[in-house]
Amino acid sequence: MKNFYELLKEKAAIHPAKPALFIDEKSISYNELLDITDRLSEELDGKRGLKLLIFSDEHLHQLAGFLAAQKNGNIPILLHKGISSEEKRQIATANRLHGCWQLSKSCNRFESISNEPKLCSNSNEEDADVVMGVLSSGSTGVPKVLYRSYFSWAGFFPEQNRIFSFKEDSRILIHGSFSFSGNLNIMMAALFAGAAIVETTALSARKWHKLINELKITNIYMVPTKLQILGKAGYTHNTPINIMSGSQLITEKCRDMLFRSFPRMRFITYYGSSELSYISYKEIRPKEKLQPSNVGLPFGGIKIYIVDGLIYVDTPYHINGADIPFTSGDAGFINEHGQLIFEGRKDYWINKGGYKVSCQKIENQLLSIEAIEEALVLPVNDELRGQEIAAYIVINYGTPEKSVRHDIRKMLPPTEVPENIYFLNEIPLNDRGKPDKEMLSALTAKY
Per-residue pLDDT of 61-112, as tens digits, reads 999 999 999 999 999 999 987 788 888 888 988 899 998 999 987 778 887 7
* Domain harbouring 381, CATH code: 3.30.300.30
CA distances from 307 to 314, 331, 447 (A): 13, 9, 40
Contact 153, 185 (CB under 8 A): yes
The answer, yes or no, to whether residue 245 has pLDDT greater than 60, is yes
What's the pLDDT at 357? 82
- The b/e string for 75-109 (b: 16+ C-beta within 10 A; e otherwise) is bbbbbbeebeeeebebbbeebebbbbbbbeeeeee
Give me the number of domains the chain comprises: 2
The answer, yes or no, to whether residue 244 has pLDDT greater than 80, is yes
Domain boundary among 203, 221, 239: 221
**Is 282 contained in some domain?**
no
Identify the residue with better confidence: 375 or 382: 375
CA distance 441 to 438: 5
Domain boundary among 221, 237, 260: 221
What's the pLDDT at 302? 97
List the single range of 65-79, 134-148, 409-423 with lowest mean pLDDT. 134-148
* Domain harbouring 191, CATH code: 3.40.50.12780
Whether the upstream peptide bond of residue 325 has omega within 30° of 0, thus cis, is yes
The answer, yes or no, to whether residue 433 has pLDDT greater than 80, is no
Cβ-in-10-Å burial (0-12, 13-18, 19+) of 33 comes to buried
CA angle 221, 224, 228 (to 5 degrees): 105
List the single range of 96-100, 150-154, 165-169, 298-302 with lowest mean pLDDT. 96-100
Domain boundary among 192, 221, 250: 221
CA distance 29 to 36: 11
Give the structural domain span for 426: 353-446
